[in-house]
Amino acid sequence: MMIGSLLVTVLLAGSPLKLNGDNISRIVNELTTEEKAALLVGSGAKAFDGVGYTTLYVKGAAGTTHPIDRLGIPAIVLADGPAGVRIDDRPCTKFPIGTSLSSTWNPSLVEEVGKAIGNEVLEYGVDVLLAPGVNIQRNPLCGRNFEYYSEDPLLAGKIAAGYIRGIQSQGVGTSIKHFAANNQELNRLYLDARVSPRALRELYLRNFEIAIKESDPWTVMTSYNYINGTLAAENHDLATGVLREDWGYKGLVMTDWAAGVYADKIVASGNDLIQPGSDAHYNRLVQAMNEGSIPMAAIDTAVTRLLRLIVKCPRFKGYEYSDKPALEHNASVARKAAEEGIVLLRNNAGALPLAPDSKIALFGVTSYDFITGGTGAGNVNGSYVIDLRQGLSDAGFALDKTTDEFYADCMRYERFNTKRINSKFDQWFVDAERPAEALPSKDILTRAAKEADKAIITIGRVFGEGKDRLHQFSYLLSAAEMRLIKAVSEAFHAEGKRLIVVLDVGGIVDMTAWQDMADAIVVSWLPGCEAGHAVASVLSGRETPSGRLPMSVPVSYYDDPTACSMPQILTDKPVNYSFYRPAPAGIKKRYDLENIDYVNYREGIYSGYRYYVTEKVRTAYPFGFGLSYTDFRYSGMTVEEDGEDFVVRLDVENTGGHSGKEVIQIYVKAPGRDMDKPSRELKGFTKTGTLAPGQSETVRIRIPRSLLASYDEERCGWATEKGTYSFIAAKNAETPVLARKIRIKDASFTPTGNYLRAEPLFIER
């Protein structure tokens, strides 16, 4: 039976009953078995030109639901993505990627970004944006890290909450994803993430919990992978137990596109909507309802949740889409966020900011072809991109003519060549060919070093869905990039001049092999359509950098505690691993190859900075690190109890010569007698307003007592031990500034359901 050919009952005329917000239960009773199945499995894969792409209603959207016209139930439109609306034929703003947003450490600014994105969602006829992605950046090589926020669940959850509140303030919905433990792309449909309950609760679920409780997203999207032996899309413990029973979530849960296998198991687990849906899903669901193998109550509950979502959507309310969002305003918001997310890692001998009359020798093909976002669901079909060359020119800087002419010639050929290569591929998961790195001749370098005041090199990396990065070809700099940095460094340093390196990347790269050749290092991430303007603002000093790292940068990739659980396939090009080792329906899940069929999270809770600070492993740049053009002094720190919260208060003074913002990070060291605990964990943060030299601000950071708890696996609940806790105000995870102690007199315990149990794992440190 076909979804598009429902039984004659769908076509029956004369029923006056039409959906509204007050009659959902009556509508559910009126729906036929076939109509219920159609609602729950989307519009069907045959309505699509590919997974994640439809031409129904809004061309290029990711999916729709199925309409039931006789009862006044319209279809609603679902569209990607995290960095702006991913649709076709309309100009959309390319916003900074998720990693850039989290680097602002500013949920209020991210909420402003969300409002701007929500404006485009609304005016282009989309009802639910499939974002944000909040999975923990467990390993630097995860191909989808650029969409995600942080290695820390508190930072990720707070940033996501701001993003969701902003979008939903425009009367459209979000779908927080990918729930949960979607930390690598290799074999993502069939990989079993084997994680201890404690690590799940404290790291890989807590980010979702914080965001959901602080923003109430309209929908949640479950992930592709297995979790401790059960597909997330068929996991009752996840979608019903943790999400609804433990956290009290009332909204809709949907699958990722083509996730899960059996429609009846998907719905019975607590997933209310299967996307994109198929005839097989529809037929199996109808059969299960007719045979009674799935309770009709479960079906009706799922349908009810879907109808509650539909009545909130603009399409149901008859909103007249303008097709004219506030693009100019939204671009200004994108630029503001990009500027505040830029992280200054190094600034020796006053290399930055640039003097207003500086002449710049601009190197690197990426300077002339900036990468603004990732590929796949995180892509945005934007209308324009400002590269660094234009950004510097618009900021009033003169560009060295010799260098500029060399790259103009180089890029003419490279653009022709890359266009020729890319025209052969149309799959969204295939990275576009990038211009090959070029090395100017010694004569050009010598002339540029004499005539220009400073050199800037941009290094770029493409990130994308459906594949992970390769250590050798993405994390490490290439031989051509190393030759360029070395040659420019030697030429300019011989003239007593400085080299600045800009990293236009979606995640971290190796730093140790080359950073000593650079005088300043600026991480712009993938900053969206206003990239060049944003970077130029920071380089010029118009904006003082205030971004901070949302992840740790190890000295060596192999210092990362998860390095050995991230497989590296030896090839000279990235490969799509989405369907690497399929397990067809009816065939038992494979467990032959570690890190491909399954991955053991042996590090437990000791990932990222929790590992580095506890084991005293040196990093290249710690979590929370970022330099400024000015200095800040902390003083007057106090910690007081206020009901069930602790309130940290301290004064922050700008003691330097530039106006700027400061990020205050509060870490807590627990007693650690009853349970094994990291040396310190982030429990609160805030960002000041712009402080002029000599200006002070008193900040107050509220930390719920519940955030001090750790998950006790034996008792199945959150345990807070009694004893002395140190509250540490810090510049980053490795640089404490002030500390105060609080004594908790009585231990406490909050039970949860006994969910997501794992087979015994060897948790090694």
Active site residues: 256
Give the CA dihedral 601, 604, 608, 613, nearest 10 degrees. Answer: -150
Q: For residues 684 and 320, what is the distance between their CA atoms, to the nearest angstrom?
A: 42
3-state secondary structure 296-358: HHHHHHHHHHHHHHHCCCHHHHCCCCCCCCCHHHHHHHHHHHHHHHCEEEEEHHHCCCCCCCC
Residues 187, 165: Cα–Cα separation, whole Å: 33
C-alpha to C-alpha distances, 372 to 84, 93, 337, 380, 504, nearest whole angstrom: 12, 11, 13, 9, 8
Taking the C-alpha atoms of residue 749 and residue 733, their distance in angstroms, rounded to an integer, is: 28
| Nearest in space to 697 (alpha carbons), one of 647, 646, 662 | 662
Cβ neighbours of residue 428 closer than 8 Å, sequence gap 6 or more: 50, 52, 53, 375, 376, 379, 465
User: Residue 640 CA to chain centroid, in angstroms?
Assistant: 34
Q: Which amino acid is at 481?
A: E
CA-to-CA dists, residue 424 to 28, 411, 461, angstroms: 48, 20, 21
CA 591, CA 42: separation in Å to the nearest integer? 32
196 alpha carbon, distance to own chain's centre: 23
- Residue 202: helix, strand or coil by DSSP? helix
Q: Which of 73, 23, 17 lies closest to 43, judged by CA?
A: 73
Q: Which residues of 546-577 are buried (b: 16+ CB within 10 A; e: fewer)?
A: bbbbbbbbbeebebbbbbebbbbeeeeebebb
The answer, yes or no, to whether the previous bond of 276 is cis (omega within 30 of 0) is yes
The Cα–Cα gap between 482 and 215 comes to 45
Whether 96 contacts 331, CB under 8 Å: no
The two structure tokens encoding residue 700: 């107050």
Q: Read off the amino acid at residue 248.
A: G
Q: How far apart are CA 21 and CA 16, in angstroms?
A: 16
228 touches 194 (CB < 8 A): yes
Residue type at 95 in one-letter notation: F
Euclidean distance between CA atoms 732 and 682, whole angstroms? 10
SS3 category, 460: strand
With H, G, I as helix, E, B as strand and everything else as coil, classify residue 405. Answer: helix
Diameter of the chain by CA atoms? 87
Q: Is 247 helix (H, G, I), strand (E, B) or coil?
A: coil
Q: Is 458 helix (H, G, I), strand (E, B) or coil?
A: strand
DSSP string, 74-126: ---EEE--TTS---SSS-B--PPPHHHHHHTT-HHHHHHHHHHHHHHHHHTT-
Are 416 and 433 a contacting pair, CB within 8 Å? no
Structure tokens that stand for 178 in this block: 């990918």
